[in-house]
Structure 1
Amino acid sequence: MKHRLRFASLALSMTLASGAAMADVKIGVSMSQFDDTYLTYLRESMNERAKSNPEGVQLQFEDARADVVKQLSQVENFISQKVDAIVVNPVDTAATRKITEAAVKAGIPLVYVNRRPDDEKLPLGVATVASKDMEAGQMQMEYLAKKMGGKGDIVILLGDLANNATTNRTKGVKEVLAKYPDIKVDQEQTGIWLRDKGMTLTNDWLTQGRKFDAVISNNDEMAIGAAMALKQAGIEPGTVLIAGVDGTPDGVRAVEKGELAVTVFQDAKGQAYGSVDTALKMINKEPVEQAVWVPFQLITKDNAKDFK
């Protein structure tokens, strides 16, 4: 069975509510930005899940364009339109309080997807569907540490510093590094999740004459950018080990080709289906888990074909 289907059980455990109550349901969805590769898969899967409901669920997607103020305005517009529920992929996980307060005050169910707000305790009427990012960092670093024989120099490509996914994935990496004192971090800089930024940073490090044995990237896009920079520099694929996170189609192909040593699968479909299902259950006033966690899975060359 393909691994990307493994979370069918999650979807089945949160079955869509049926009956007249679900007819013409409207859910407002604010995405932090449309031009993010992983979030595109997330958005497409949310739309797919909504369309699978025979009673009619309409998703109204809005692009916050990485702007906190714009995202709050979008949520306020959803509230004024009296949508049945709101789903938010936050721009800044430390700046969600006003969004939460506005939705709760209006009595509209709110689901945060993919990125959990920094607030440790969320009020009733608010749920999250995400993955535990620290585990992704732990998984990729543990795999590379063993491949490196427990010694060497690494560089870290950080995601957007406004997202706790960046903080937590990197924290997971460093927790593992604490067990390997002979692995040193030479550089860490933000590539804000982008392939071209990952490529530019890696190229800069090579131009500066820096030597490193591995690149730890907070996502696949930056990891692929790093692989491209190394290839342009004439460095044979696999000479420098590269690790990503997300398990996007491009990331999986890069693992198959040996351009990435490993990536960690973040289940976009599991998160997307979970967010829509949770919103519908909340609309119907059915019990829900306030925090739904979708597990990560390690992808290596040995099992990459299972994630295609």
Structure 2
Amino acid sequence: MLAVRKGRKLLVTTGALLAIGALVTGCSSETGGDSSQPTNASVDGNAAEGETVVIGFSGPAADHGWLGAINSAAIAAGENLGDVDLRVAEGTNDANLQISQVEQFINDDVDAIVLLPTDGAALTAVATKAMNAGIPVVNVDREFSSPAAARTTVLGDNYGMGQSAGNYICERLGDTPDAVVAEIAGVDSLPLTTERSEGFADALETCGLDVDNRVAADFTVAGGEAAASQLLAAAPEIDAIWNHDDDQGHGVLSAIDTAERDEFFMVGGAGSANAMELIKAGESVLEATVVYPSTQAADGVRLARLIAQDKAMSDLVEVEVPKRIVLNAPVVTSDNVDQYLPTAFAS
């Protein structure tokens, strides 16, 4: 284990040293320190291999294209970092099993833990236990119920996804106040679905539109097809549809083809490679998709490495990794699809 490990508990449980670190940095530069030498916050110092750190990673079962991409990207990030020993627990949707996995990481005295919890509230206590043991936890995608449970949290922007989708539809239909807008949500019981729908409604309101027809699916192909069939039967005329998830979008598009409907355009969600290829081809009602990055756990691994090695993000003046990082939710269209395809996931 790292020699610095013994002092890390203070670093992850108190913010007082931030000010001290900044002061020391400032004093060293004022007293003639050699600014040409790499530091832990410089590009060279950040990238330089350090002492190997052991990082435990636990995430849900890869029963969905996006989750599969989350796991594979995290593993690839660990493999590409020469000073990271990434220990990957078996993906699970059982909160109790995931708790036991984190307990094992604590017992193994790893240097950091990256955790995408199957249930953020259920994993809060064990994540807090890891933090109290001096092991920094990077929380990914589904937030814990206490900020004390994580050193850093990496999130996609669910509300921002809805905003992006609504803003795009406003740009296309804002001059048509009686336009009919439909929404095919994911799992309604999940907070992320509520956040996406709230962002969507708020964005539409800015141009005088609202959601006229809404159904919920379950992030699966079959669920998407069933929900879309229900929607299309209930709404004889539609101008635009926002579908929250590109995985369930396969089923949505199948229902649209079966119903022989093409009077509307559709915006997807998550940003799968399959959706982007359809957008690029321009032969489908799918006109755009909103990215929900599948890089979050990979970002978590890289951040865990920086934290465990007492390094910082080189593009920031701050001398420590931020407490919270929210990734952007850009809209992908035929104009910019080539920019996003390389990091898109297969659904």
TM-score, normalised by the number of residues in structure 1: 0.82
Contact 2:124 2:145 in 1 (8 A): no
- Residues 150 and 115 (structure 1), Cα distance of their counterparts in 2 relative to 1, 3 Å cut: farther
> Is 1:229 equivalent to 2:268 in the alignment?
no
Aligned pairs (5 A) from 1:269-288: 269=295, 271-286=296-311, 287-288=320-321
Distance 1:13 1:178, change over 3 A: farther
Specify the code of the residue in structure 2 equivalent to 1:274: D
**How far has the Cα of 1:128 moved from its partner?**
0.9
Q: Which position in structure 2 is the counterpart of 1:138?
A: 163
How big is each residue's C-alpha offset from its partner over 1:134-160, in whole Å with a ceiling of 9 and x where there is no partner?
Answer: 111111111113323343333322223
SS of residue paired to 2:206: coil
**Matches of 2:109 and 2:209 in 1, distance apart?**
57
| Structure 1 residues 99 and 193: CA distance shift in structure 2, 3 A | farther
Aligned residue in 2 for 1:5: none
Q: Using the alignment, how far apart are the partners of 1:78 and 1:278 within structure 2?
A: 18
Any residues of structure 2 matched to 1:45-60 within 5 Å, and which? 45-60=73-88
Give the distance between the partners of 2:46 and 2:67, measured in 1 at CA.
23
Corresponding residue SS for 2:270: coil
Aligned partners of 2:116 and 2:140 also within 8 Å = yes
Bigger mean CA deviation after superposition, 205-214 or 40-49: 205-214
Query: Which stretches in structure 2 are left out of the alignment for 5+ residues?
Result: 1-42, 312-319, 342-347
Q: C-alpha distance in 2, partners of 1:89/1:221?
A: 19
Larger radius of gyration: 2
Whole-Å separation in 1 of the counterparts to 2:293 and 2:44 = 16
Whole-angstrom distance in 2 between the partners of 1:83 and 1:101: 15
The corresponding residue for 1:98 is 125
Check whether the contact 1:246–1:264 (CA below 8 A) recurs between aligned residues. Answer: yes
Q: Which stretch shows the higher mean deviation, 123-132 or 42-51? A: 123-132
SS at match of 2:78: helix
Change (3 A) 1:26 1:161: farther
Q: Mapping of 1:164-175 within 5 angstroms?
A: 164-175=191-202
Following the alignment from structure 1 to structure 2, what is the Cα–Cα distance between the partners of residues 68 and 124?
Answer: 16
**Pairwise CA distance, 1:13:** 9.5
Match of 1:255 among 252, 267, 279: 279
The partner residue of 2:270 within 242, 246, 251 is 246
1:105, distance to aligned residue in structure 2 (A): 2.9
Distance 1:118 1:278 in 2: 21
1:291 is aligned to 2:324 = yes
Count of residues in Structure 1 that have an aligned counterpart in Structure 2: 287
Task: State how far apart, in whole Å, the 1-side matches of 2:236 and 2:202 are.
Answer: 24
Identity percentage of aligned residues:
23
**Within 2, Cα distance between the matches of 1:216 and 1:177?**
11
Answer yes or no: is 1:18 the counterpart of 2:30: no
1:126 is aligned, of 137, 151, 162, to 151
Secondary structure in 2 aligned to 1:187?
strand
Structure 1 contact 26–60 (Cα < 8 Å) conserved: no
Q: Deviations over 1:216-258 (max 9, x none)?
A: 222212233212210111223xx22221222110121122243
- More helix by percentage: 2
**Mapped contact 1:26–1:59 kept (Cα < 8 A):** yes
